[in-house]
Amino acid sequence: MLKRIADNESGITYTLEAIIGILLIIGTIIYMTGNMPYTAQKTGEHSKVQLMNIGRDSLDLTFITPIYETCPNCNNFNVAREYLLCIEGNPPCINNTFIQPNQIINFTVYYKDGTPVNKNLTLQVTNLGTGNPFENMTKIYNIANWSWLNSPQNLSEFSVQANDFSGGVSNIVTVKVGWYFLDSKNGNYGPDNTKVNGTVDFPNGTGAPDLNIFLNGALKDDGTLCNSNQPTTTDPTGNFSFDWPSSNDFTVGGLYYIVATDSTGHSSNRHMIIYTEKNNGELSVYDQHPPLPSGLNEETTIWETSSAYMHTDLNINIDWFNVNNVQYVSNSNYSITNLGNGNFEFTAYLAGDYYIYVKQGAQNCNGEGPAKTNGVLIHVLPLVPATGKNQDHCVNATELNTYMLRYMPAYVNYNMYLIGPTGNKFTDCPDFKTGEVINGYPTAEAVAVSKLAHIVYPRTGVDNIVEYRMVLWYK
């Protein structure tokens, strides 16, 4: 019996093969499981690396996400227009340009959400600041081009808008037409400040020498000019300076024009200034809320739906304000609010250039003029649809958190911080005012990852490099 067992080696062979096979299987399992990351490993360097990878992936995913996913209100504009009119191209739009006579300029019109207009509209034009009604220029079906001929009435500064004649209009763009570009401070010119300074440039931006400077005015309410005077010429660099004429023809307070002309009759654009009579006041404008800085500031830039703030030392009524040579009355395009202590808030709902001064009474060529202050110029830029990725915009903190939690592993929690250039929390984004998103309290093993972004938010003027910083930990 024992001999028969000893002579039969097949059983031993089978047993050894089985043992070796089992050992191989066990070894393979041990090797594979030893090199696999734990689903929710809580401690150790590996867990920190895992958390950092999750954080970086989350930031990368968030940055390339379209803005409408996390900022549903970015394109909800409370503006007084149905269309967006652009000069030479796509949004964001050029809102102000200078061209020469006979030079072709291209206009493009969109719906205010940025989609192309699929119907005929009419481009209309008027002289900036004169109060003249808009007149029809040409039809526009998404795109149109136009040029101003070389004639005296065309060498001016024009306001252009699109109109569907069913209550829908676009923002207003400014086109300055001339063989040369003339600019000066609006100025509080009068008996106590008679020096007028300015520059005249060629279209390439270099100074235009030896041009005759003419002072025309005052501008009557019917649009005609009272008088003309040639006080000076431009110097070799295109600069000019002259004292306000002392003759009675130029002591009437009101709107005046400066224009430059060369020996061939080619002229610059007509540039508006204000002359005020003795014992009148100053008007300043700023893009910040009172208390306002001291000193005269005559020009500022804001966005639609935002406000500029004006100050005068005169005791005036709101209806004394003259906006683009029209006496102020309540309307849907802009509003003026008396804040007290000589401060007034100007809120714009329609983009364009607004030339404002204080005026009382009708303009004529004799006797006391109506201008009580200098003029100020408020450039109002159009809000354009938010396009592109989250990394380019101020986002909504609540919507951003909802979006990120949708893709965050269930075993991970995080907080998010928006860090500004000073190293402190960035709180200038209207829907991210706290500069942070808090979902809990980090543990001792928490890790931090960050990513830089250049964000822009036109409504509040945000244009900053910021850091998105995430702190992550296991639940």
Same-domain status, 336 and 442: no
Which tokens is 320 given? 């004394």
When divided into structural domains, the chain yields a total of: 3
For 12-37, b/e burial (b = at least 16 CB within 10 A) is eeeeeeeeeeeeeeeeeeeeeeeeee
Same-domain status, 354 and 401: no
For residue 94, what are the domain limits? 83-177
Note whether residue 448 is domain-resident.
yes
Peptide bond between residue 152 and the one before it cis (omega within 30 degrees of 0)? no
CA–centroid distance for 133 within its chain = 28
Same-domain status, 322 and 371: yes
Q: Is the pLDDT of residue 126 over 80?
A: yes
pLDDT tens profile 334-386: 999 999 999 999 999 999 999 898 987 766 665 455 788 888 889 998 887 76
- pTM over the 0.85 mark: no
Please say which residue of 381, 396, 430 terminates a domain: 381
Note whether residue 38 is domain-resident.
no
Q: Please state, in angstroms and rounded to a whole number, the distance separating the CA atoms of residues 61 and 305.
A: 32
Same-domain status, 371 and 397: no
Which tokens is 14 given? 């089978």
Note whether residue 10 is domain-resident.
no
Same-domain status, 50 and 197: no
Lowest average pLDDT, out of 37-51, 86-100, 281-295, 389-403, goes to: 37-51
Note whether residue 22 is domain-resident.
no
Residue 303 pLDDT grade (very low, low, confident, very high; cuts 50, 70, 90)? confident
Peptide bond between residue 291 and the one before it cis (omega within 30 degrees of 0)? yes
pLDDT at 4: 47
Cα 421 to Cα 287, 345, 426: the distances in Å are 22, 30, 8
Note whether residue 142 is domain-resident.
yes
pLDDT at 1: 45
pLDDT at 73: 64
Q: Please state, in angstroms and rounded to a whole number, the distance separating the CA atoms of residues 158 and 173.
A: 8
Domain of 128, CATH number, reads 2.60.40
Average pLDDT, the chain: 82
Same-domain status, 171 and 185: no
pLDDT at 129: 72
Same-domain status, 421 and 357: no
Same-domain status, 314 and 376: yes
How many beta carbons lie within 10 A of that of residue 423, not counting itself? 8
Domain of 243, CATH number, reads 2.60.40.10
Same-domain status, 279 and 258: yes
Secondary structure (3-state) at 21: helix
Check: CB of residue 200 under 8 Å from CB of residue 208: yes
For 78-106, b/e burial (b = at least 16 CB within 10 A) is ebbbbbbbbbeeeebbebeebbbbeeebe
Q: Please state, in angstroms and rounded to a whole number, the distance separating the CA atoms of residues 464 and 296.
A: 29
Q: Is the pLDDT of residue 41 over 60?
A: no
Residue 446 is classified by DSSP as -
Which helix (H) or strand (E) is 286 found in, with range?
A: strand 283-286
Same-domain status, 173 and 185: no
Which amino acid would we find at residue 175? Answer: V
pLDDT tens profile 305-321: 889 999 998 999 999 99
Residue 346's contacts (CB-CB under 8 Å, 6 or more residues apart) are 285, 307, 308, 309, 310, 334, 335, 336, 354, 356, 378
Note whether residue 1 is domain-resident.
no
Cα 113 to Cα 84, 92, 235: the distances in Å are 8, 12, 48
Same-domain status, 64 and 103: no
Angle (nearest 5°) at CA 232 between 229 and 235: 155
Note whether residue 7 is domain-resident.
no
- Selected residue with higher pLDDT from 34 and 18: 18
- Selected residue with higher pLDDT from 124 and 25: 124
Cα 110 to Cα 93, 107, 171, 435: the distances in Å are 11, 10, 11, 34
Please say which residue of 125, 147, 177 terminates a domain: 177
pLDDT at 392: 61
Please say which residue of 381, 411, 439 terminates a domain: 381
Same-domain status, 103 and 166: yes
Q: What is the mean pLDDT of residues 443-467?
A: 83
> Which of 444, 396, 435 has the alpha carbon at shortest distance from 417?
435
Residue 252 is classified by DSSP as S
Which amino acid would we find at residue 458? Answer: P
Cα 58 to Cα 61, 62, 399, 409, 413: the distances in Å are 5, 6, 15, 10, 12
Note whether residue 115 is domain-resident.
yes
